[in-house]
Structures are given as structure tokens and as C-alpha cells.
Amino acid sequence: MTTDILATLVPAFPLFGAIVAASLRRSLKGNAAGILATLMIGLSFACSVVLFMDHQVVGALHAAGMHQEVPPEGGTHIVKLFDWIHVGSMDVPFAFQIDALSLTMMLIVTGIGSLIHLYSIGYMHDDERVATFFSQLNLFTFAMLLLVMGANYVMTFIGWEGVGLCSYLLIGFWYKTPAYNYAARKAFVMNRIGDLGFVLGLAWLFSVMGTLNYTEVMARAGSLSTETITGITLLLFVGAIGKSAQLPLFTWLPDAMAGPTPVSALIHAATMVTAGIFLIVRSSALFMFAPITQDVILWVGLITSLLTASIGVFQNDIKKVLAYSTVSQLGLMFVALGLGAYSAAMFHVTTHAFFKALLFLGAGSVIHALGGEQDIRKMGGLKGVTKVTYVTFLIGTLAIAGIPGFSGFFSKDAILMAAYQEHPLLYAATLGVSLLTVFYMFRLLFLTFFGTYRGKAHPHESPLVMTLPLMVLAVLSVVGGALNLPHLIGGHETMKHYLGTAADGISGEHLHLEASTEWILMGITVALIVLMIALAYNRFVKKTTLDPEADKLPFFQRLIARKWLLDELYAKLFERPYAWFSAHFESIGERKVMVPLMVGTGSTANRVGKLLRRLQSGNMSFYLFSMVVGLIALLAWTLYHV
């Protein structure tokens, strides 16, 4: 009973906050909106924690520690709020599903969300529309919670659409600049393309299964034919591509950096972009039976991560580097999914949420310190000035690089191991991505914080309200690895077992490498990472090499610096024909057909009215005459009609 109340409260708090902040947006002064919003998310987080502890008592962790199997009923709790759609055979209740997977995501969303809300109080302090900002941020959290807590695909889809909408609203928050609006629109349109795939997949799934509730779908997943399952899972993956920014629908994410930094941290690092991965893990029972789809996922993820990692090396905007890094890391997560390593992917989602949010918030702190400067070529030497920011950013960078001991190391290692198990070349490729990551992240760190200051502003440290979340996230980035320590080091792989109660796919996840192989691979990885750091140090600290403008680079580097000309390709392939079509449709279809039709209808009605008006001449004789005529007609018809 309390579970139901708590489960309902978790999304209810942010919704309440969103509505209140939006309605009172003109009267909320100062930090009031921010405090309200943060409080709401904090309460949500508290409820999630209570639910989590409660859930543990059911026995999931205990069983994991005992390596026992937990009966699926014991791990899943459905909270039905009301019967929503009940048409014929289609029954879609408005229900939440509380199990290990959703609880994990709830904790991430509300936990990191509350930290980012707290940070935003300081960051958005002197913006004139700050109440709207917090309202939209709360609304986003609400939608995201619906997404992860939904008990059926339709609930998830509501949240899916909701986060897409809030992403659009928040990216284009400073709407007075037209370029930001284009970025927001681009994000929304690309999301929409993915959504189309999602909906088609849902429709197909419903048509073959007759239900969209997770528990039922997963239980009957084996009963579908391979072609059906491959088709459905491919369509669901298309949805994930749109939401989680993979090839070919990833170009919106770097542009989305037009939004305020807390938005980038929350939406485009920690939560929304992981929705695609969440979806696939949630449907892992389906994906288990579709090896072709898994191969597709693997290749898409791999190519995306390589491509974007290479682009990240040449970016000069602090947020863009982090954006490309996000896409690259998401690619790695998809690689893990493609290999069937679902828990490794979720583990990386969690640790990535910690350190990527940290990095973004740190970047925001730097931007705030420099009064709005985002070009790293104009930064430098900040480590003496913004000490807390520097230390936390360093921790974040170490985590993402995969230095042993930090959380990123364990999660990335899990993925690399799974890759090696599949094929050594795959391991080499993912290792390559990791090394590129190390390179550009340390480039970022060094150029921003080391050396001498190359800009013109007066840098100062950010207030506590901004640095406190940084510190918390830094701690999490360090200890987060403890969530899923591999057996190799003596851990219990707690997260894997915990999530195994929720996602069937994890049961098929086995890592059967020899211990020695694992140690060797780990050693190689660490050695190469350290080598990369040294290279970066040499290039960027000893010499402070700033890349020249894109035009002056040699050909290959220029291509990469120009983001592999993908935006231009899309413009030529899609935007130009579409614009041509639109223009022609407007000039012919609209102007020559539709407008005359509509205006013509009105004017015809007008003319008919004018014509009929002549009947009302006010002339008595005419009235009498028409009466007589009518009478004659009526009589004739009656009398002669047989």
C-alpha cells in the first residue's frame, strides 16, 4: 500500500512543481522557483530511496549475495493508477512498474536531477525567465520518470514524447537567438524520426501480441517468429537511435549545446539520451531472440562512437567536446547492448551519468567563472583560480578516461571484456575509442586549466550552490564503481544480479574469459591510457598547441574538424529537396488550389447570400406573389402527383 503511494508521489512531486512554477512564474522572485523545484525533486529522490530500500527487503540484494535466483514476481510490483485505454481488446492501464531496472533509473534521474536543480539555482540566478526554466526542468523530470516507471510501452512512450518536448523547450530556452531555435527544432525533428520507428514497432508488437504491458510481453517473447521479432526490435532500435543520438541521427546533440549548461548536463548527458538504452534493456527479452538486430546495434554503436570520438578531438568549444564525448560513450553502451551485455550497458549508463553530469556542470562553472566564454582557446590557467571546479573536473576526466579505481574504469572495462569475448578486433576498436576519449578529454582539461590564461575576463570561483553538486558528483564518480565490481577483483557484481531480476536478457549474459586473460587485457588498457595521457600532456601542457582554424588544417584533419561534413550531407540529401518540395507545394498547391478553394467557398457563400437577399425585398406585393406561386406549385403537385 505504501509502495503504491510512494510510487505515485515520485512523479507527482515534479509535476506539481512544474505546474506551480509555471502558473506563478511572474510572481516568483529570486530563488523561490529554484528552491521549490529542487525541493520537489529532492522529495522525489527521498521517495525513490525509500522504495529502493523497501525493494531490497523483498530480497533482491540478499539473493544476489547468495547467488540465488529471485522469482520474477517477487521483484516486480505494478502500481495501477487507473484504467486508461480500454477499447475492444486493447487494454492499456496507466500503471507504474517498480522493479530493479526502474528503481535504478529513478534513483539516477531524481538523484542527479536534484543535484542539477540545486546547481541551476546558482547558474540561472540572473536570468529573467528563471521560473519558466525550473518549471520546464521539473516537467522534464516528470516525463522522464513516466518513461522509466511505465508498466507498458505506451506509458514509456508518453514519457518519451514528453522528454522530447522538454528537450525542445529547454534547448531553445534563450529563444531570442534564432540559431538556438534552429538547434531546438533540429533536435525535435530528429527525435521525431526516431519516434516514428518506435510507434511502428509498437503497432507491430501490439498486432502480434495483443498487449503492450511489459510483464506480458516479456513472458511471451519466445512465442514470436524470428522475422517478426527482428522487425519489431529493429523498429524499436530506430526509436532508440533518435533519442540516444546514434548514427545517423546524432547531429542534433552537439547543436543542443545551445541550451543552458544544466540542461545539457541533465538531459543530454545523464537522462534523456539514456532512454534509448533503457528501452532496449527493458525489452531485453525481445532482443535476446533477435541476433540480427543485435548485430545492427553493435555496428551502429561502434561506428558512431569512433566517428564522434574523432570529431571531439578537433572541437574548440568546451561543451561541444563534451557533447561529442557523450555520443561516443552512448555508442559504447550500444556496443555493449549489441553484444548482449545488458548489465554492462546499464552500469555504464549509471557511471556515465555521474561523471558526465559532473563534467558538464564543471564546464558550466568554468563558463560562469569567465562570464560566458566557451572557447577553450581563450581559457587556460584556471586551476589556480577555480580550485574546486578544477579538482572535480579532474576527477571527472579521470573517471571517463578509465583510470583504475574510478567508476568509469569498471564500467568501461566490462564493455571491453565483452567486446574481446566476441572478437579481438572488436576489442581493439573499442579500445581505440577509449584512447581517443582519453586524448580529447585530457586535451580539454589541459587547455582549460593548465598553462596561462589566454582570455580577457576576470575569472572567479563559483558559489557554493554550484560547487556543492560538483563535489557530490565527484565523490560518486569515484565510488560508483563499487556498484558492480567484477568477480575478478573479488566483487559480487551486485548490479548485474540486481538488474537481473528485472531484465531477462541479463540471464544470458556471461563473461567466460579466463582470469589471466582478463588481467592481461586490463593491463594493456591501463598502459595505453597512461601513454595517451602522457602524449596529451606533452602536446597541450608543455607546448600548449592550439589548433588553427579549420581551413588551415591538412585535408584529413579538416574533414574531421568539419564533423565529417555530415550536417552538409544531410542538408543536401534531405533539407534541400524538402525545401524545394515545400516551396513548390506552396506556390502551386497552396496558392492556386487551396487558397482559391477556401476563399472561394466563402465568397460563393457570400454571393449566394446576396442573391437570396433579394427575396427579402420588403415589397409586400412580391411576398404575396411568391405566396401565390408557392401555393399553386403545392396544389399542382398534390393534385397531380399520383
**Other CB atoms within 10 A of residue 273 CB:** 29
Residue 515 vs 615, nearer CB to another protein = 615
Cβ atoms of 343 and 496 closer than 8 Å:
yes
Q: How far is the CB of 636 from another protein (least distance, A)?
A: 5
Residue 87 vs 620, nearer CB to another protein = 620
Q: Is 636 in the site for another protein (CB under 8 A)?
A: yes
Largest CA distance in the chain: 114
Q: How far is the CB of 614 from another protein (least distance, A)?
A: 8
Report how far residue 558's alpha carbon sits from residue 552's, in angstroms, rounded to the nearest whole number: 8
Q: Which of 306, 312, 282, 516 is nearest to 420 (CA)?
A: 516
Q: Is 620 in the site for another protein (CB under 8 A)?
A: yes
Report how far residue 194's alpha carbon sits from residue 235's, in angstroms, rounded to the nearest whole number: 9
Residue 85 vs 629, nearer CB to another protein = 629
Q: Is 425 in the site for another protein (CB under 8 A)?
A: no
Cβ atoms of 274 and 332 closer than 8 Å:
no
Q: How far is the CB of 606 from another protein (least distance, A)?
A: 14
Cβ atoms of 302 and 335 closer than 8 Å:
yes
Pick the binder of another protein from 5, 583, 599, 631 (CB under 8 A). Answer: 631
Q: Is 642 in the site for another protein (CB under 8 A)?
A: no
Q: If you count DSSP H runs as helices and E runs as strands, how many of each does the chain have, helices first?
A: 28, 2
Residue 29 vs 641, nearer CB to another protein = 641
Residue 207 vs 619, nearer CB to another protein = 619
Cβ atoms of 110 and 145 closer than 8 Å:
yes
Cell numbers standing for residue 18: 512544474
Q: How far is the CB of 609 from another protein (least distance, A)?
A: 10
Q: Is 628 in the site for another protein (CB under 8 A)?
A: yes
Q: Is 556 in the site for another protein (CB under 8 A)?
A: no
Report how far residue 103's alpha carbon sits from residue 112's, in angstroms, rounded to the nearest whole number: 14
Q: Is 621 in the site for another protein (CB under 8 A)?
A: yes
Region binding another protein by CB under 8 A among candidate stretches 106-114, 208-216, 477-485, 625-633: 625-633
Q: How far is the CB of 604 from another protein (least distance, A)?
A: 19
Q: Is 625 in the site for another protein (CB under 8 A)?
A: yes
Residue 604 vs 617, nearer CB to another protein = 617
Report how far residue 497's alpha carbon sits from residue 610's, in angstroms, rounded to the nearest whole number: 80
Q: Is 515 in the site for another protein (CB under 8 A)?
A: no
Pick the binder of another protein from 611, 639, 641, 642 (CB under 8 A). Answer: 639
Place of cell 511471451: 220
Residue 574 vs 622, nearer CB to another protein = 622
Report how far residue 315's alpha carbon sits from residue 450's, in angstroms, rounded to the nearest whole number: 18
98 forms bridges with which residues in the sheet?
77
Q: Which amino acid is at 386?
A: T
Report how far residue 264's alpha carbon sits from residue 268's, in angstroms, rounded to the nearest whole number: 5
Cell numbers standing for residue 50: 525509500
Mask for 587-616, x = binds another protein (CB under 8 A):
--------------------------x-xx
Distance of CA 271 to the CA centre of its chain: 5
Q: How far is the CB of 628 from another protein (least distance, A)?
A: 5
The site for another protein (CB under 8 A) is made up of 613, 615-621, 624-625, 628-629, 631-632, 635-636, 639-640
